[in-house]
């Protein structure tokens, strides 16, 4: 039964075009906080594989989402942001490195069109970033393949963000174990 639910939850997470952060917060019963690992501007040569130069800078941002209460690393994310195709308030918030992209989009009330371009499962050795360079996933003791999805976010006719998200394969088990511990604590109080 656990394996079925585990697979079902990840199938939903990987194929949805909705706000992933909201789903993760519901699944984990924990608010997500962002920790930016790196954020840097790309030159036109580095950005060329992602489309026509737009006259504006591209930025790459690598981050992890962490449960605020649990400290559990839930996802490892790489975003390519094309500044001319992203609303200015969103771009400024991303630049400040304080909030996750999904949270900021929601807080600003922005409408997006998300298009899923790829999803599946990869081992730690197979994980790559948006440039197909090896990526060291920030999931301690990762034994199973990590689910991932890649999609674009558009705020107009041209995609403004390309996002690659890897999810900790242990999030469902972590939540189950936390629920058991919480229930035991409640039973001890009664």
Interaxial angle between packed helices 2-15 and 171-189, expressed in degrees from 0 to 180 and rounded to the nearest 10: 120
Q: What residue spans define the domains of the chain?
A: 2-189
pLDDT greater than 80 at residue 182: no
Q: What letter would DSSP give residue 98?
A: -
What is the value of pTM for the model shown?
Answer: 0.88
What are the pLDDT digits (tens) for 130-159?
A: 999 999 999 987 788 999 999 999 999 989
Alpha carbon 51 to chain centroid, angstroms: 22
Q: Of the CATH numbers 3.40.30.10, 1.25.40.10, 3.40.1410.10, 3.40.1260.20, which one belongs to the domain with range 2-189?
A: 3.40.1410.10
Q: How many CA atoms lie within 13 A of 111 on its CB side?
A: 2
pLDDT in tens, 102-120: 888 888 999 999 999 999 9
Cβ 74 vs Cβ 34: under 8 Å: no
CA distances from 84 to 21, 159, 179 (A): 24, 10, 44
pLDDT band at 187 (very low <50, low <70, confident <90, very high): confident
pLDDT, the chain, mean: 86
Beta bridge partners of 48: none
- Quote the strand ranges of 27-106, DSSP E: 32-42, 58-67, 73-82
Instruction: Confirm if 14 and 22 have CB atoms less than 8 A apart.
Output: no
Q: Which secondary-structure segment (H or E) carries 163?
A: strand 159-167
Q: Which secondary-structure segment (H or E) carries 114?
A: strand 113-122
Whether the per-residue pLDDT at 18 is higher than 90: the answer is no
How far is the C-alpha of 158 from the C-alpha of 173, rounded, in Å?
Answer: 38
The pLDDT of residue 51: 62
- In this model, does residue 96 exceed pLDDT 90? no
């Amino acid at each position: 039964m656990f394996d079925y639910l585990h697979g079902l939850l990840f199938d939903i997470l990987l194929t949805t075009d909705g706000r992933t952060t909201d789903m993760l917060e519901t699944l984990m019963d924990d608010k997500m906080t962002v920790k930016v690992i790196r954020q840097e501007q790309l030159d036109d040569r580095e950005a060329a594989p992602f489309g026509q130069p737009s006259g504006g800078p591209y930025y790459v941002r690598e981050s992890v989402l962490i449960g605020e209460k649990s400290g559990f690393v839930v996802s490892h994310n790489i975003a390519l942001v094309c500044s001319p195709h992203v609303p200015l308030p969103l771009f400024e918030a991303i630049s400040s490195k304080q909030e996750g992209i999904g949270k900021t989009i929601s807080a600003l009330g922005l409408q997006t069109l998300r298009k899923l371009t790829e999803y599946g499962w990869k081992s730690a050795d197979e994980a790559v970033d948006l440039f197909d360079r090896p990526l060291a996933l920030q999931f301690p003791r990762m034994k199973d393949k990590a689910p991932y999805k890649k999609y674009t976010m558009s705020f107009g006719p041209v995609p403004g963000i390309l996002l690659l998200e890897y999810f900790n394969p242990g999030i469902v088990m972590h939540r189950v174990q936390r629920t058991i511990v919480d229930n035991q604590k409640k039973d001890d109080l009664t």
